[in-house]
């Protein structure tokens, strides 16, 4: 993530926290500053080649965040903060055949196509999120100093993604409509069988908007530090842009198979899938004049 995007997010978060802290409210209900950690999984899907079957994968990840919550009553408040998350997924495509037009190889004539047969393509996808959560938080007393809490809202920020892939076996052949011939077993022209081909793609930073729900238990003994333990459900409401691969045919050195990027077609990663997991948050009370938040008979 570039420093410009990062500074924008930090400045926006600081402004939201300041605005929330200065909203008119009865100070007796106070506010909380919280630090949270979460762990969960994601289920993005991958459309890597045109006319190829889409693959869906399940991966794991987690998040760290800080938040400021302003309470307007004993049972409701507004929370803003800054959160970073990382998720990793992997997938496999067993066998794919593709054909691309390429520059005419040295010493040959006419138009040319490069035919590629992939076997055992494995991909590893990493997505790093940095966003600002804005949540309405509600809580209801259960027993003693224990509350059932529920949060609903959204997150806005940026996501940085990368995709690394390897191919167990890659066989390339050439075809010329000019001669109506297939050219194979010609390593000097780049028509051969290669193993262990690797490549990677890095996406540009893109905006991401996420709808978010949280629910769980809040343990808030009087005079103690409140602890939240619950579950979260995030769902990205926009998708990341498509990316194009960098398939090249190196006419000056056709045998250099490192130029044969498997991602020659436009492809996309669909992040419009649920992210689910558990979250723990430790909070510190600020400006709370009444000592009994759990008082059910007043307010």
The pLDDT tens digits of the residues spanning 13-22 come to 555 555 554 5
For 245, phi then psi, to 5°, come to -75, -175
Whether the pLDDT of residue 297 is over 50: the answer is: no
Higher confidence at residue 64 or residue 238? Answer: 64
Least confident of 29-38, 59-68, 138-147, 162-171: 162-171
Whether the pLDDT of residue 190 is over 90: the answer is: no
Least confident of 23-27, 42-46, 194-198: 23-27
Least confident of 59-63, 79-83, 235-239: 235-239
Higher confidence at residue 288 or residue 270? Answer: 270
* Residue 2 pLDDT: 47
Average pLDDT over residues 237-258: 63
* Residue 12 pLDDT: 55
Higher confidence at residue 80 or residue 197? Answer: 80
CA-closest candidate to residue 119, choices 164, 169, 192? 169
Average pLDDT over residues 186-207: 78
Q: Please write the tens of the pLDDT for every residue from 210-226.
A: 999 999 999 987 667 89
Query: Do residues 238 and 266 make contact, with C-beta atoms less than 8 angstroms apart?
Result: no
* Residue 183 pLDDT: 87
* Residue 292 pLDDT: 43
* Residue 232 pLDDT: 95
Domain boundaries, the chain: 3-286
Instruction: Work out the mean pLDDT of the chain and round it to a whole number.
Output: 77
Higher confidence at residue 86 or residue 51? Answer: 86
Higher confidence at residue 254 or residue 276? Answer: 276
The highest-confidence range among 45-49, 58-62, 204-208, 275-279, by mean pLDDT, is: 275-279
* Residue 243 pLDDT: 56
Least confident of 39-53, 107-121, 230-244: 39-53
Whether the pLDDT of residue 290 is over 50: the answer is: no
Whether the pLDDT of residue 100 is over 60: the answer is: yes
């Amino acid at each position: 993530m570039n420093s410009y995007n990062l500074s924008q997010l930090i400045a926006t978060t600081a402004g939201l926290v300041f605005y929330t802290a200065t909203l008119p409210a009865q100070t007796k209900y106070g506010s909380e500053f919280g630090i949270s950690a979460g762990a969960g999984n994601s289920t993005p899907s991958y459309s890597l080649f045109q006319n190829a079957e889409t693959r869906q994968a399940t991966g794991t990840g987690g998040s760290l965040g800080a938040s400021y919550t302003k309470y307007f009553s004993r049972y409701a408040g507004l929370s803003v903060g800054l959160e970073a998350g990382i998720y990793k997924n992997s997938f496999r495509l067993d066998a794919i055949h593709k054909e691309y037009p390429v520059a005419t190889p040295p010493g040959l004539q006419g138009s040319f196509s490069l035919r590629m047969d992939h076997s055992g393509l494995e991909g590893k996808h990493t997505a790093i999120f940095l966003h600002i959560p804005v949540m309405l938080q509600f809580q209801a007393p259960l027993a003693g100093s224990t509350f059932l809490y529920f949060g609903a809202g959204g997150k806005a920020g940026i996501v940085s993604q990368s995709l690394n892939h390897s191919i167990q076996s890659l066989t390339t052949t050439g075809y010329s409509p000019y001669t109506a011939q297939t050219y194979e077993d010609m390593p000097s022209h780049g028509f051969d069988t290669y193993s262990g081909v690797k490549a990677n793609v890095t996406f540009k930073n893109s905006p991401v908007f996420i709808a978010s729900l949280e629910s769980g238990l809040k343990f808030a003994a009087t005079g103690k530090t409140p602890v939240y333990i619950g579950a979260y459900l995030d769902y990205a409401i926009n998708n990341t842009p498509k990316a194009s691969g960098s398939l090249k045919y190196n006419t000056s050195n056709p045998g250099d198979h490192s130029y044969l990027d498997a991602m020659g077609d436009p492809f996309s990663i669909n992040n419009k899938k649920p992210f689910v997991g558990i979250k723990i948050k430790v909070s510190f009370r600020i400006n709370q004049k009444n000592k009994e938040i759990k008082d059910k008979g007043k307010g």
